[in-house]
């Protein structure tokens, strides 16, 4: 078993003001990678904190996707400037970029998430894309960031769509790992992961709606702050153990393969994971009532649950996803499903059919739905 975790996870209002103190403990020079809106979210306290601590930094404006060419370019820049740290400010794409670049260059990594849409600020793993926005690699970094700095005041100002997607992406940690635990009850590490995932799941099912309401009112309550812990810390921890004999489920493979379909690119990570979970439930032969309740739960958190809502309007993209799922993921060997592409096609279509049934018959307690199209 290998456990990868940050040296420190700090979550409190104003932590971005203290970033200079943290980075100064690592050295005097840093490279900052951030998008324009992310920089606006942390300004001016972020810059003032670095300046007051005597840390000089250069800025790389981020846009597009975290490609390996970008990561290698930033790693070389870190070497050329003898930087002591790389700081990522923004969402998951920025987090993944700085984690790979920092590890390639052998410098310390600091992540400052400005949204809570994934656990990327914590997790050692990074998703690598090509310039077209297609996932090409799930990159296993040798270590997690040194510091993860979570400022609830900053994240509360971001659109609640990100928080909703992050909640359902956190649900996936439980839904994807729990079947592994049922088939491998002798693994203590797997039990730890499942317990952490279930703790996050239970908290967000009970308090997620309240956390969203607090965020939309810009209230940094204890419930909202703990929701950030569930999404970033608990989900990140549960995904940070390696060599535990678990393969995950179908939801994240579905996301990875859906990026090959350009029409889905307006969806967030968690929004497509939500649909992937429903297809996974069909593959697992879960009861119809279970799947219907899952549709209701996901829509309560504003997630798309039909193919058309994520940008897929015909059968060919479904066939492409199914074919590649069989070729690239060993689902049948570890979880007992997904041996044939036809099985996956039918599961995806059945998940879509059940979701439409829920919508047509008014069974969903629908929150404001951020359909991607």
Q: What is the DSSP code string of 261-299?
A: SGGGTTS-HHHHHHHHHHHHHHHTT--HHHHHHHHHHHH
> What is the per-residue pLDDT for 335?
83
3-state helix, strand, coil in the chain (%, to 5): 55, 15, 30
Report the chain's mean pLDDT, rounded to a whole number: 93
Establish how many alpha carbons lie within 13 A of residue 148's alpha carbon, considering only the half-sphere containing its beta carbon: 29
Q: Residue 31 and residue 60: Cα distance in Å, rounded?
A: 7
- Tens digit of each residue's pLDDT (9 = 90 or more) over 37-96: 999 999 888 999 999 999 999 999 999 999 999 999 999 999 999 999 999 999 999 999
Asked if 30 and 55 count as a contact pair (C-beta separation under 8 A), the reply is: yes
- Predicted TM-score (pTM) of the model is 0.94
Query: Are the beta carbons of 153 and 13 closer than 8 angstroms?
Result: yes
Q: Is the pLDDT of residue 370 over 50?
A: no
- Count the helices and strands in the chain (H runs, E runs): 16, 10
pLDDT for the residue numbered 187? 74
pLDDT at 348 over 90: yes
Within a domain: 367: no
- The confidence score (pLDDT) of residue 190 equals 81
Mean pLDDT of 261-287: 97
pLDDT, position 184: 64
**pLDDT band at residue 1 using 50, 70 and 90 as cut-offs:** confident
Let me know if residue 230 belongs to a domain.
yes
More confident residue, 367 or 15: 15
Question: Which helix H or strand E contains 163, and what residues bound it?
Answer: helix 160-183
Q: Which of 106, 134, 156 is the last residue of a domain?
A: 156
**Last residue of some domain: 126, 156, 186?**
156
pLDDT at position 178: 85
Q: Does residue 150 sit in the same domain as residue 106?
A: yes
In this structure, the number of other CB atoms found within 10 A of the CB of residue 29 comes to 17
pLDDT of residue 363: 54
Structure confidence by residue, pLDDT tens digits, 111-141: 999 999 999 999 999 999 999 999 999 999 9
| Spatial separation of the C-alpha atoms in residues 329 and 327, rounded to whole Å | 6
| Total structural domains within the chain | 2
Residue 245: its pLDDT value, please? Answer: 56
d(CA 170, CA 189): 19
Backbone angles phi, psi at 85, to 5 degrees: -155, 155
**3-state SS, residue 214:** helix
Cα–Cα distance for residue pair 127/166, rounded to 1 Å:
16
Q: Is the pLDDT of residue 368 over 90?
A: no
Structure tokens at 48: 């003032």
Residue 264's domain comprises: 161-360
pLDDT band at 238 (very low <50, low <70, confident <90, very high): confident
Residues belonging to the chain: 373
Q: pLDDT confidence of 367, banded at 50, 70, 90? A: very low
d(CA 257, CA 173): 18
What is the rounded distance in angstroms from the CA atom of residue 370 to the CA atom of residue 266?
11
Task: Please tell me whether residues 149 and 25 are part of one structural domain.
Answer: yes
| pLDDT above 90 (res 248) | no
Within a domain: 152: yes
For residues 146 and 232, membership in a common domain is answered with no
The answer on 250 and 140 residing in a single domain is: no
pLDDT value at residue 372:
64
CATH code for position 255 = 1.20.1090.10
pLDDT at residue 212, rounded to an integer: 97
pLDDT tier for residue 247 given thresholds of 50, 70 and 90: low
With a cut of 60, say whether residue 278 has pLDDT above it. Answer: yes
Q: What percent of the chain clears pLDDT 90, i.e. is strictly above it?
A: 84
Same domain, 308 and 179: yes
Reply yes or no on whether the pLDDT at 240 is more than 80. no
Is residue 204 located within the same domain as residue 334? Answer: yes
Model pLDDT, residue 242: 65
- What CATH number is given to the structural domain containing 54? 3.40.50.1970
CA 292, CA 297: separation in Å to the nearest integer? 9
Cβ atoms of 308 and 356 closer than 8 Å: no
Same domain, 229 and 352: yes
More reliable by pLDDT, 209 or 177: 209
Displacement of CA 51 from its chain's centroid (Å): 31
Residue-level pLDDT at 217: 94
């Amino acid at each position: 078993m290998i456990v990868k975790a940050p040296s420190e996870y700090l979550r409190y209002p104003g932590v971005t003001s203290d970033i200079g103190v943290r980075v100064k403990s690592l050295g005097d020079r840093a490279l900052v990678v951030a998008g324009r809106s992310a920089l606006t979210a942390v300004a001016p306290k972020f810059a003032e904190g670095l300046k007051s601590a005597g840390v000089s930094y250069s800025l790389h404006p981020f846009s597009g996707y975290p490609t390996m060419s970008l990561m290698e370019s930033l790693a070389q820049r870190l070497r050329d400037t003898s930087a002591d740290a790389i700081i990522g400010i923004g969402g998951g794409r920025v987090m993944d970029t700085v984690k790979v670049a920092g590890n390639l260059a052998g410098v310390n990594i600091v992540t400052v998430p400005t949204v809570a849409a994934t656990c990327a600020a914590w997790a050692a793993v990074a998703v690598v894309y090509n310039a077209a926005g297609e996932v090409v690699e799930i990159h296993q970094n040798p270590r997690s960031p040194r510091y993860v700095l979570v400022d609830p005041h900053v994240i509360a100002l971001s659109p609640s769509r990100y928080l909703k997607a992050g909640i359902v992406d956190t649900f996936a940690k439980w839904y994807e790992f729990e079947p592994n635990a049922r088939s491998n009850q002798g693994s203590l590490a797997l039990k730890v992961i499942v317990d952490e995932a279930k703790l996050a799941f239970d908290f967000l099912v009970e308090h997620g709606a309240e956390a969203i309401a607090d965020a939309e009112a810009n209230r940094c309550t204890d419930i909202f702050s703990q929701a950030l812990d569930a999404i970033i810390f608990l989900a990140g921890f549960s995904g940070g153990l390696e060599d535990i004999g678990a393969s995950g489920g179908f939801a994240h493979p579905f996301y990875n393969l859906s990026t090959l379909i350009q029409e889905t690119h307006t969806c967030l990570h968690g929004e497509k994971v939500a649909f992937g979970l429903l297809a996974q439930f069909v593959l697992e032969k879960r009861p119809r009532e279970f799947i219907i309740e899952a549709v209701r739960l996901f829509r309560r958190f504003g997630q798309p649950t039909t193919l058309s809502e994520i940008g897929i309007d015909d059968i060919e993209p479904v066939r492409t996803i199914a074919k590649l799922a069989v070729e690239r993921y060993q689902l049948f060997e570890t979880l007992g499903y997904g041996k044939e592409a036809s099985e996956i096609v039918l599961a995806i279509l059945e998940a879509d059919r059940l979701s439409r049934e829920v919508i047509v018959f008014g069974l969903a307690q629908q929150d404001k739905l951020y359909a991607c199209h």
